[in-house]
Structure 1
C-alpha cells in the first residue's frame, strides 16, 4: 500500500499535501508546504482523533513558521485536549506575543485555567482583555467570564456579568435567556425588575424582557403584575410557549384555576402537546373539584408519558375524592408497578383497602410505607389507625412505641394510645396518655375524636379535655 492509499476518500489536493507531509517527517525530499497546508494537516488528524500525529504536525509547522499564532493556537488546543494544560499555556503566551487580536486565544487560555482550577487567573486575564474587543467578540468574552464565575461558584458575579452585557446590548438574546435563570437562582428580583424596565423603555417590543420582568415579579409573589408582563410578551409573540406556562402558574398561585385552564388551552394551540401541560390542566380541574375532567387530562398526560407513576397516583387520588375506592385502588396499583417505592401511593392504597373492608391488605400497605420511610409520622399514624380499626389492639399499642423510636415522641401517638387503652379496658392508663397528649398539643385531640367519636361519651375523658380548654382560654 502506498502512502496515498492511506488517505482514501480525501480530495486529490489534500492527498498530495498529506503525501508530502509523510515524506517530510520521514526525512525524504518533499515539495514545499505552506502555513495553510499545515493547518489542513493538523485538522485532518484532529478530525480522526489521532492527536499524537496532529501535535507532531503542529510542531513541524511551527518549526517552519515560528511566528504563526494560528499554528500555535491549534497546538495549544490539542495540548488541552490531551490534558497538557501547562504546556498549552506556555504555547498560548508565545502566541500572544505575536497576535493579541484572536479571541480564540483567550478562550483557550480560559479553558486551561479552569482545568487547573485557577479561576482567579482566568478572571484577571478576561477582565484585562474584555475592553480590547468590541461588538460580538466583547460579548463572547463577557459570557465566558460569566461561565468562569459559574464554575467557581461565584453566582452573584454571574448575574453581574449578564447585567454588564445587557447594559451594552439590551437585546442580547443569550444574556436575556440566561439572566432569567440567574435572577431566580440568586433571588435578585428587585434588581432584575429595574433592569428589565430599563430595557423595555429602550425597546418596548422586546418580548424576552417582558417575560423576564414577569418572572421577576412572580419571584416576589406579585402575581397580578407578573400576569400583566406575560400578557405584553404574548402580545408581541403569540407563540411564546413559556409565557403561557408562567402565566398559568401565576393564575394557579392566585387560585384562579379557570383562568389558568384558559391560558393552558391557548398554549396547546400554539405548541406541541406535552404531558406537563395536560397534567397542569388536570390539576386545575382537580382543584375545582371537577374530578372526571381532571382524570381526562391526567390520562392524556399519561399517554404521552406512560412511565410517569405520579399521573396514575393523581388519577387514584381523584377517585378517592369521589369515594370510588375500587377504581382508585386499580390506578394506585398501576402506579406501584411503575414505582414500588412511592410511600404516598402505599398510604393511599392502604386507605382504599380499609374502605373496602380489606383490613389485612390495608395493614400490609401501611407496613410497607413505614419500611420505605421510617421517619414518616404520617405512615406510622396510618398503620396504628388501621390496626386499631381492625381490632388488633395489642399490635397497635406495640407499633405506637415502635413509631416513637423512629420519629420521636409525638402527641398523636399518645392520643392513639388513649383510644387503644380504652378499647382494652385500661381506663386509668388511657387518661394518663390523654393528659400527656393534651400537654403536648391540645388542638390535636380532634384526631382522637376522629378515630373514636364515642370517646366523648366518657365523662372522665370529657372532663379532662374541658379542663385543658379552660386553661387555654384563661
Structure 2
C-alpha cells in the first residue's frame, strides 16, 4: 500500500511532463504510452492552457494515429476553441476506430448545437439511444433533455426525464429536475401517476413523495399535497423544501397557524430568507395579530431594505390599528422606493383622509385614478373623500367620470345621487338613486354611507319602499 499516493502521482506526472518536453525538443528518446499523452492533455486542459493541450494531442496522435481516445480529446479541445466543424471531422475519424464510445455522441451533439443544427443533434441522440443501455443510456437521455431545453421544447424535456425515471426510479438528478418541469409544463396528472409508481417500488424515497406532493399542489389539491409532504419529512426530518411548500399549502387553505409552524421549521433548518419572514408575517396579518405580522415584515425588510412592498405591508398593520401617523411613515418609505404604485397612493389617501388632510388625500386618490382609470376602488375613494370635504360639485363630476371609465358601474350612480343631494339638486338626485336601485339594489348601502340623512327625506324613503314593494310583487 502506497503511503502518499497523491504525492507519488504528482511526482509521476512531473516526470511525464519532463519526458514530454524532452520529446518535443528532441533532447531525449523516452517512449510515452498512449495513456501518458492523455494525462498530459488533461494537465494542460485543467489549467485552461488549450493551446498546449492541443499540441499534446497532436503529438500523441503522431505516435498513436489510430487512438480513438486521443482523437476524442482533440475534438473536445477543438469544441472548446470554437472550431466546431474541425471537431466533427475529427470525431468522424475517431468513429472508424471505436463507434461504441458514448463521448463521440455527446461531443457531436455539442458541436451540432454550437452550429445551430438542432435537428442533427436530436437525430444523433435518438439513434444513439438504440445502441446503449444502462448508465450510458441514462446519460444520453439527460443530454437529449438539455438539447430540448436549449430549443424550448419543454414538453420533450419532461418526456426525457420521465423515461429516465421509468428506467432508474431512484435517479436523484432526474427526480430533482422533473419537479421543476412538472410545474413548468403543467403535466401534474402524469407526474402523479409516475411518482405513485415510483413510491410503490421505493416507499422510502423522500424526493418521490416531495414530487408527488408538488404535483398535487399544482392541481390545487392542497390537503393531498400536505399528506404527501408529511411522508417526505417523516423520511427526512430535515427536508426544508418540504416544510416550505407545506407552509404554502396551509396558507392556501387559510390554516395560518399550521403554516407558521411549517415555515418556522424552515428557519430552523436553513439560512433565514426574506420570503419566509414575509410569509410568516402574512399569516399573522391574516390572523389579526398585527404586532407579530409587523415584527416579521420588519425582519424581511431588514434583509431586503429596497423592497417597497414590505414597507407597504407594515403600513397595512398600522392602518388596521388606526395608527395613521405610523402608517404614513411606512408608506413614505415605500413611496421613496416606488412612487407611482396605485396601492400605495390609495393607502396614503385613506390615511390622510382619516387625519383630516382632505386636500392631500384627494391628491393621492387623483394619482390612483389617473394611473388605473378602471380601478373601481380608486374612484370610490376619491369620490368619498370629495364628499367628506363637502366638494359636492367635484364629487358629482368625478362620479360621471367614473361611470364612463368603468363602463357604468352601478355604485357610481349612487355616488352621483349622493353628490347631487349634497348640491341640493333633489329631483336629479332621486332619478340617479332610482337608476341605482334598478341596476344593483344591494349597493344602496354605499349611498346611505355617504347620505345617511337621506332616510329623513320622505321622497327617498317612498322610492326605496316602492322599489322593494315592486320587487316583492
State whether residues 229 and 243 of structure 2, in contact with CA within 8 Å, keep that contact through their aligned partners in structure 1.
Answer: yes
Q: Tell me the SS of whatever aligns to 1:410.
A: coil
Q: Distance in 1 between matches of 2:183 and 2:472?
A: 45
Partner residue, 1:448: 447
Partner residue, 1:328: 327
Shift of 1:214: 1.7
2:290 corresponds to 1:288: no
Deviations 1:261-320 (A, max 9, x none): 222233333323222222222222111111112212222222222222222211111111
**Which deviates further from its counterpart, 408-417 or 304-313?**
408-417
- Taking a change above 3 Å as real, the CA distance of residues 471 and 210 of structure 1, as seen in their structure-2 partners, is farther
2:167 corresponds to 1:168: yes
State whether residues 388 and 396 of structure 1, in contact with CA within 8 Å, keep that contact through their aligned partners in structure 2.
Answer: yes
**Which deviates further from its counterpart, 363-372 or 157-166?**
363-372
State whether residues 45 and 53 of structure 1, in contact with CA within 8 Å, keep that contact through their aligned partners in structure 2.
Answer: yes
Partner residue, 1:237: 236
- Taking a change above 3 Å as real, the CA distance of residues 126 and 458 of structure 1, as seen in their structure-2 partners, is farther
Partner residue, 1:143: 142
Q: Distance in 2 between matches of 1:67 and 1:467?
A: 103
**Which deviates further from its counterpart, 33-42 or 188-197?**
33-42
Q: Distance in 2 between matches of 1:112 and 1:473?
A: 79
Partner residue, 1:108: 107
- Taking a change above 3 Å as real, the CA distance of residues 460 and 154 of structure 1, as seen in their structure-2 partners, is farther
TM-score (norm 2): 0.83
Q: Distance in 2 between matches of 1:470 and 1:97?
A: 96
Shift of 1:228: 1.9
Partner residue, 1:272: 271
2:157 corresponds to 1:152: no
Q: Distance in 1 between matches of 2:354 and 2:94?
A: 78
Partner residue, 1:5: none
RMSD of aligned C-alpha atoms? 3.5
Shift of 1:118: 3.8
Return 5+ residue gaps in structure 1 as ranges.
Answer: 1-9
How many positions carry a matched residue from both structures?
A: 461
2:310 corresponds to 1:311: yes
State whether residues 129 and 140 of structure 2, in contact with CA within 8 Å, keep that contact through their aligned partners in structure 1.
Answer: yes
- Taking a change above 3 Å as real, the CA distance of residues 399 and 56 of structure 1, as seen in their structure-2 partners, is farther
TM-score (norm 1): 0.83
Partner residue, 2:356: 357
Q: Tell me the SS of whatever aligns to 1:450.
A: helix
Partner residue, 2:200: 201
Deviations 1:138-196 (A, max 9, x none): 22211222222333333332222222111111111111112222222233323222222
Q: Distance in 1 between matches of 2:446 and 2:206?
A: 52
Deviations 1:60-85 (A, max 9, x none): 76677554444544454455455554
Q: Distance in 2 between matches of 1:450 and 1:97?
A: 88
Aligned residue runs from structure 1 range 360-379, under 5 A: 360-379=359-378
**Which deviates further from its counterpart, 208-217 or 109-118?**
109-118
Partner residue, 2:338: 339
State whether residues 113 and 119 of structure 1, in contact with CA within 8 Å, keep that contact through their aligned partners in structure 2.
Answer: yes
Q: Distance in 1 between matches of 2:68 and 2:206?
A: 42
